[in-house]
């Protein structure tokens, strides 16, 4: 499964507005969203949770910029998708309980109705920062 993501991510042309690019954004929103939810549940405020959350914000930003693929983000999103898939596999009892948000976000991407407030920004972690 992850090899398929990697091939799709790395093979997508920069600036692509094709249906394949749109489908990739839908899938990344769901997979990375689920990984971010799992990480937030098992290790709130961790580096991994923040990294996955940041990758999810990147997917949202790509959607807000017209649902256009940007190859500059391919490596980071590939890593986030791979890490998210591993979290999903490693936590089979947690992910079904955490999928509502990723389901909603993926549906919004599918319908091209993503808004900036669908995924919180970095301010979410202000209280977890150590002085």
Residue with tokens 């923040």: 50
Do 80 and 55 meet the contact criterion of CB atoms below 8 Å apart? yes
Do 34 and 103 meet the contact criterion of CB atoms below 8 Å apart? no
Q: Which tokens is 2 given?
A: 């992850």
For the chain, give the mean pLDDT: 88
Closest to 25 measured CA to CA, from 87, 73, 88: 73
Where along the chain do its domains lie?
A: 2-113
So what's the pLDDT on residue 1? 45
pLDDT at 3 over 70: no
pLDDT digits (tens, 9 = 90+) for 42-86: 999 999 999 999 999 999 999 999 999 999 999 999 999 999 999
pLDDT > 90 fraction of the chain, expressed in percent and rounded: 73
């Amino acid at each position: 499964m992850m090899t398929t993501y990697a091939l799709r991510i790395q093979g997508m042309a920069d600036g692509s507005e094709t249906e394949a690019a749109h489908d990739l954004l839908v899938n990344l929103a769901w997979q990375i969203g689920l990984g971010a939810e799992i990480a937030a549940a098992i290790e709130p405020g961790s580096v991994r949770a923040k990294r996955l959350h940041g990758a999810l914000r990147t997917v949202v930003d790509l959607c807000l910029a017209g649902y256009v693929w940007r190859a500059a983000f391919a490596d980071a999103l590939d890593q986030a998708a791979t890490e998210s898939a591993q979290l999903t596999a490693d936590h089979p009892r947690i992910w079904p309980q955490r999928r509502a948000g990723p389901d909603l976000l993926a549906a919004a991407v599918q319908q091209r109705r993503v808004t900036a407030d669908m995924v919180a920004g970095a301010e979410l972690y202000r209280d977890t920062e150590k002085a």
